[in-house]
Amino acid sequence: MAFFAARQPILDLNKVLYGYELLFRNSMENAFPNVDEEKATSKMIEGLYLDLGLDRIASDKLAFINFTKASILEGHPALLPNQEIVVEVLESVEPTDQVYTCLKQMRDRSYTLALDDFVHSTPWERFYPLISIIKIDCLAISEIELDAVVQIPKRHPHIQLLAEKVENIEEFEKYKALGFTLFQGYFFSKPEVIKSVSLSSSQTLLNSLLSEISKPEPNFNEIVKLFELDPGLSFKLLRYTQSPYFQRNKKIENIRQAVVMLGKRELERFITLLFAATFGENKPNELIRLSLQRAKFCEIFADKTPHKGKLSSAFLVGMLSLLDAMLDANLASVISQLPLSAEIKIALVREQGWLADCIALSKQFELANWEAMRAGCDKYSIDYETMLTDFDEAIKWSEQRMQMLS
C-alpha cells in the first residue's frame, strides 16, 4: 500500500517559507474523515522513517504533524527529531492533567508545540506557557472566538498565531493586522493587484527560448539567435557552462559553442531555472518552487495519457499556470503577449482541454483534495497510487532545481 503525505506551505510575515504541514493518506478509501486519527498518526511516523523521510518531504523546514491524545500520551512525538517537527495537538484533545504532563515533558525536551484549529477556553490557560504556536481555521472561527485568540499573545508574548486556509491577499492582510505572524494556504499563488503589464525584452526572450527548447526537435540555430539578442542572458549562459559539473576539454568562446555543449536536456534545465527566477523576481521562493513542481507534475501526468507526444506542452503549461501571480497581472493579458500555441492559450485562459486537466489535477494534489485527485486520474484511466508517487517525484525535482537557483 502506498504511503503519501501531502504538504501545505506555511509562510511568515515576509512570505518566506517557514515550514510545511504534513497530511497523511494511504489511499482514497482511507481519506479523512473516515480514516482513524490514531492510525493516520502512526502511519505518518512510520512513513517518514521508512519511505519519504523528513528531509525530503519537508525540505529542511519545520514539519507540522498532527498528534492525537493517545499518540501524545504514548510519547510518539519523541520518535522524531525535536529540531525538525512541530507537534500539533489536535482540536479533539482535551486539556487533562495527563496531557499537560506529557506536553510539559516534550517542551522540556525542546519540542515545539502547537494547538491546532484552536478555540480559546479557560481550561487551556495553564497550557499556554508550554505552547509556541496557536493555529486557527480562518473559515470556521467566529469573530468573538477570533478576538479571544488574538488576546492570548498579549498575556503570553512568546506565542505566535498562525492563520490556516488563507487563500487570498486580503485575508493575509487582515490576519497580519490582527497580529498573526504565520500563514498557511495558497494566498501567495494569487496575484496581489491585477494590473496591465508589459513584459520586458528579457522576459519575452525567455518565453521564446523555453517554447523552442521544449519542442521535441528544437531549432538550435534559432536558440543561438535568441540568446545573442540579450547580452545579459548570454552572459548567464556562458557562466552556467563554467560549472565544474560540466567536464570539457576546450574553452567555451561563444554562444553557439555553449548551446551545442549543453545539449537539449541541460539547456532546457537552464532555461527553465532562468525563466522561473526572472518571472518570479521579488516573489516568495515558494511560488517559484510551486511553478517548477507543477511543470514537472503536468509532464509526468501527460506521459501517461494519449497525449504523451506533447510532454513539452504539458511542462510549459504547468510552468505558466502561475504567471499571473508572478507578475500580479491578468493572465489573459499576459498570455496574449507570448508566442504560445492556441492549445496552451485555451488551457490557461479558458481552462479548457486536456492541458487544463493537467493543471487542475496538479492543483488538487497540492490542496490534498482526495476525491478530486481520484476523479482526475480515473478520467484518464491512470492508476491513482502511481500518481501519488509521481507527485512526490515532482516535489523532489522542484527542490533540486531550487537548490540550483540558490
Q: What secondary structure does DSSP assign to 125-193, as a single string? A: GGGGGG-SEEEEETTT--HHHHHHHHTHHHH-TTPEEEEES--SHHHHHHHHHTT--EEESSGGGS-SS
Q: What is the pLDDT of residues 323-359, one digit of tens each?
A: 999 999 888 888 888 888 899 999 999 999 999 999 9
Average of per-residue pLDDT values in the chain? 87
Q: pLDDT value at position 269? A: 82
Q: pLDDT value at position 39? A: 58
Q: pLDDT value at position 348? A: 95
Does CATH number 3.30.70.360 belong to domain 4-189? no
Q: What is the pLDDT of residues 288-300, one digit of tens each?
A: 999 999 999 999 9
Q: Which residues contact 121 (CB under 8 A, 6 or more apart)?
A: 95
Question: Is residue 194 scored above 80 in pLDDT?
Answer: no
Q: Which residue shows C-alpha cell 497550557?
A: 127
Q: pLDDT value at position 406? A: 65
Higher pLDDT, 56 or 10: 10
Whether the domain at 4-189 and the domain at 201-405 fall into the same CATH topology? no
Q: pLDDT value at position 261? A: 87
Give kind and range of the element (H or E) at residue 115: strand 112-115
Picking from 258, 279, 122, the residue whose alpha carbon sits closest to that of residue 207 is: 279
Q: pLDDT value at position 169? A: 92
Q: What is the pLDDT of residues 24-69, one digit of tens each?
A: 654 434 344 444 565 565 566 665 654 445 666 677 789 999 898 9
347: cell is 488551457
* Out of 39-48, 66-75, 80-89, 248-257, least confident range: 39-48
Picking from 79, 69, 152, the residue whose alpha carbon sits closest to that of residue 109 is: 79
Q: pLDDT value at position 55? A: 64
Question: Is residue 111 scored above 50 in pLDDT?
Answer: yes
* Percent of the chain surpassing pLDDT 70: 88
Q: Which residues pair with 90 in a beta bridge?
A: none
pLDDT band at 203 (very low <50, low <70, confident <90, very high): confident
User: Dihedral through CA 219, CA 225, CA 231, CA 236, nearest 10?
Assistant: 20
Domain boundaries, the chain: 4-189, 201-405
State the CB neighbour count (10 A cutoff) for residue 236: 17
Q: pLDDT value at position 91? A: 92
Taking the domain 201-405, which CATH number applies? Answer: 1.10.3210.10
